[in-house]
């Protein structure tokens, strides 16, 4: 299917909706031809070739379909959609507990951004961080005992912290003047991958460049993983810990989903399309990646099969559907 559209791309982090932690670049493009051959509705996904299988499980994701960002869930074929947060305030991000019984998110319903936990059905929202500063982007550790997050409580720029699941025993892991975001855990719980915004001079102009780093959970043994032009972020370890998926820019400055080895080698462009692609997350079996794809006019949740590279669109509701996170397998 070929669709001719005329539009202007906008950096999602530059809009007035709540994506303060994601750093992108404004890239105007007018008169672009969109060739979307794999844009299949979710009802066709269940009829996918048996050789490829069908993605199973449940995804949490964000959407503005009810007027503001809310946390929703849906089946991995795009069906059984449910609004969990149902609040007039910002409710953003999501991270499942290892047993799939709870979800972390952050919200400004108390006047500033705080980290919340709720039951998997959206009930019993509880403020865990309770701090006058802004706390963002919580991520549950694989053993279920610790939460990584970012905060500006000790610095104008955000730093990475960890705390117990009841909000106690807060410890700061990074100590610098640089902006950091999106901490996520390795499957063995021994490392955290995160994004650090570096300042660089390009043709006598100071620019910012996001790169992926990894560190031990005590903040030691930092290692830089990516050395690429453009902003790389959203790193997620594969279930077996051998790969990391992330988003970044290709040679044409378009955002794509990439994978690489856990040591930063063998970077591969998975999506390789003309849409903007962000926020990857692995299926529990490691066969699929869910991600955000679209333009400033419309962002949707997609999945890509890693063996066949076939893509399937799960959402169609205007205007933003994004940041999918797979629920862990139920034991």
CATH number of domain containing 209: 2.120.10.30
Mean pLDDT (the chain, rounded): 87
What count of other Cβ atoms lies within 10 Å of the Cβ of residue 318?
13
- The count of residues in the chain is 331
- Residue 164 pLDDT: 98
In a domain, 331, yes or no: no
- Residue 307 pLDDT: 95
- Residue 210 pLDDT: 96
pLDDT per position as a tens digit, 205-217: 777 899 999 999 9
pLDDT per position as a tens digit, 215-267: 999 999 999 999 999 999 999 999 999 999 999 999 999 999 999 999 999 99
pLDDT per position as a tens digit, 158-203: 999 999 999 999 999 999 989 999 999 999 999 999 999 998 767 7
Encode burial over 168-205: b for 16+ CB neighbours within 10 A, e otherwise.
Answer: eebeebbeeeebbbbbbbbeeeebbbbbbbeeeeeeee
- Residue 18 pLDDT: 42
- Residue 21 pLDDT: 42
Structure tokens at 251: 């040679």
pLDDT per position as a tens digit, 44-89: 454 444 445 789 999 999 999 999 999 999 999 999 999 999 999 9
Question: Which of 23, 25, 118, 29 is closest to 70 using CA atoms?
Answer: 118
Question: Which of 184, 240, 179 is closest to 217 using CA atoms?
Answer: 184
Name the domain count of the chain. 1
Q: Is the pLDDT of residue 111 over 50?
A: yes
In a domain, 238, yes or no: yes
- Determine the average pLDDT of the residues in 146-166: 95
Q: Is the pLDDT of residue 147 over 60?
A: yes
In a domain, 202, yes or no: yes
The Cα–Cα gap between 71 and 73 comes to 7
* pTM to 2 decimal places: 0.85
* Residue listed under structure tokens 């692995």: 282
In a domain, 276, yes or no: yes
Question: Which of 230, 224, 229, 234 is closest to 19 using CA atoms?
Answer: 234
Q: Is the pLDDT of residue 278 over 50?
A: yes
Domain that holds residue 79: 2-326
- Residue 206 pLDDT: 74
In a domain, 242, yes or no: yes
Least confident of 4-8, 172-176, 308-312: 4-8
The Cα–Cα gap between 218 and 200 comes to 28
Least confident of 14-23, 70-79, 154-163, 309-318: 14-23
């Amino acid at each position: 299917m070929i669709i001719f559209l005329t539009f202007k791309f906008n950096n999602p982090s530059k809009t007035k909706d709540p994506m303060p932690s994601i750093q992108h670049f404004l890239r105007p493009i007018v008169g672009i031809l969109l060739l979307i051959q794999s844009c299949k509705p979710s009802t066709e996904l269940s009829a996918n070739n048996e050789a490829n299988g069908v993605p199973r499980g449940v995804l949490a994701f964000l959407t503005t379909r009810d007027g503001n960002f809310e946390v929703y869930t849906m089946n991995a074929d795009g069906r059984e959609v449910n609004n969990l947060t149902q609040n007039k305030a910002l409710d953003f991000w999501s991270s499942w507990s290892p047993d799939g019984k709870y979800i972390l998110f952050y919200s400004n319903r108390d006047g500033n951004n705080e980290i919340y936990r709720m039951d998997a059905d959206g009930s019993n929202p509880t403020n865990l961080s309770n701090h006058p500063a802004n706390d963002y982007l919580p991520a549950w550790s694989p053993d279920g005992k610790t939460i990584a997050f970012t905060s500006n409580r000790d610095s104008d720029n955000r730093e990475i912290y960890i705390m117990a699941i009841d909000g106690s025993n807060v410890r700061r892991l990074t100590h610098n003047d640089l902006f950091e975001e999106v901490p996520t855990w390795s499957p063995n719980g021994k490392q955290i991958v995160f994004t650090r915004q570096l300042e660089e001079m390009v043709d006598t102009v100071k620019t910012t460049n996001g790169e992926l780093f990894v560190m031990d959970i005590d903040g030691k043994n930092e290692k830089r993983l990516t050395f690429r032009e453009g902003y790389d972020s959203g790193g997620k370890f594969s279930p077996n810990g051998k790969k990391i998926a992330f988003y970044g820019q290709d040679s044409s400055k378009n955002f794509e989903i990439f994978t690489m080895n856990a040591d930063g080698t063998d970077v591969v462009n998975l999506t390789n399309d003309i849409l903007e692609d962000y926020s990857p997350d692995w299926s529990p079996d490691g066969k699929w990646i869910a991600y955000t794809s679209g333009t400033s006019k419309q962002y949707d949740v997609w999945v890509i099969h890693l063996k066949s590279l076939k893509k399937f669109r799960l959402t169609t509701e205007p205007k933003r559907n994004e940041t999918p996170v797979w629920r862990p397998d139920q034991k």
